[in-house]
Amino acid sequence: MTKIAKYKTSSAAEARCCYSRVVAVDNWIFVSNTAGRNPFTKIIPTDITEQTRQVFDNIEAALVGAKSCLADVIAARVYIYDPKNTDAVMQIFAEKFAETVPTLTSVCPPLCSTDYGVEIEVTAWRGAAQAEIERITLNY
């Protein structure tokens, strides 16, 4: 039988909007779009580099809570409010995923708050970090 686990944090938005930070369906793990608000201080850094690092800290904490890790991520969606911040955000993305190389979609739409410079959503497969990886280059 399929097991579904829904993980919540103390986020006011999760309670108000009725969503889970993480939903795990067997080994599939879906992490909601995540902003750079520090969960303890409630502060969102104004510097895009610091904000992006906080986003990844938040995502990593969510994955660990679901018995997974950043190395299990197989797909990511990155939402960057201001296109001029793309290089800074993607440099940190590249640092975090240099070994795992997930699929990526990145766009520059309006976000739910002007305080958010970046939000990231990921999909992971629990155990992907230990899987045998075959790297294939497509010639097109």
pLDDT averaged per 10 residues, the chain (length 140): 88 80 95 94 96 98 96 98 98 96 96 94 97 92
User: 41: phi > 0 → left, psi -120 to 50 → alpha, else beta; which?
Assistant: alpha
Task: Spell out where 26-116 has E strands.
Answer: 28-34, 73-80, 103-107
Give the DSSP letter of residue 30: E
Helix axes 48-65, 86-97, angle to 10 degrees: 40
pLDDT value for 136? 93
Looking at domain 4-130, its CATH class is alpha beta
Specify the pairing of strand 73-80 against strand 118-125.
antiparallel
pLDDT value for 14? 73
Please state the pTM of the whole predicted model. 0.93
CB 69 within 8 A of CB 29: no
CB 105 within 8 A of CB 78: yes
The radius of gyration computed from the CA coordinates of the chain, to the nearest angstrom, equals 15
